[in-house]
Structure 1
Amino acid sequence: MMIVFCFLLAPIFSYVRLKANSVIAAAILRGSLNATTGLAIMVVKGKGDLFVGVTGAAGFIVLVIINLSIFIFERFINKV
């Protein structure tokens, strides 16, 4: 699960790093992700690790949507 999570998260970190032209923005994003990852596990009851949290199915769906949004925005909308 963690490999898929990292694979889906890498384009977002790359996009933030390129747009900010600094690694500081990507580091802040990583720190905020680390700080909030445990919240879903503490708050949500029920399903196992496969479905709950950022590294679960719900998190994967959100990351895929964000990656597709970045791709569409950069490819078709933000033509410079």
Structure 2
Amino acid sequence: MAALKFIGVDPETGHSGSPTAWVHTVTRDILFQSYIADEETRQECADNPAPGHALGIPAGETVIRIPAHLIPLLREACDAAERGF
């Protein structure tokens, strides 16, 4: 059995370069292939950390951009993870 359950692809981008969502069937982690945030957005995130966190973006992390029109896809992924598919 595959460890990833495909949820969906951005319907507005055609057949290549599409943001895509999966849910890991064991950990229930949500995985997104999406756009890398531009440098200005990354810097803004790095300069405005969550309370109790250091400035910057830690090694092994990045900022991704999920377009607002993909909120339904994100909800579907969250629902699949919560209900266990």
TM-score past 0.5 threshold: no
Sort the TM-score into its range (normalised by shorter chain): under 0.3
TM score, norm. by length of structure 2 = 0.27
TM-score w.r.t. the length of structure 1 is 0.28
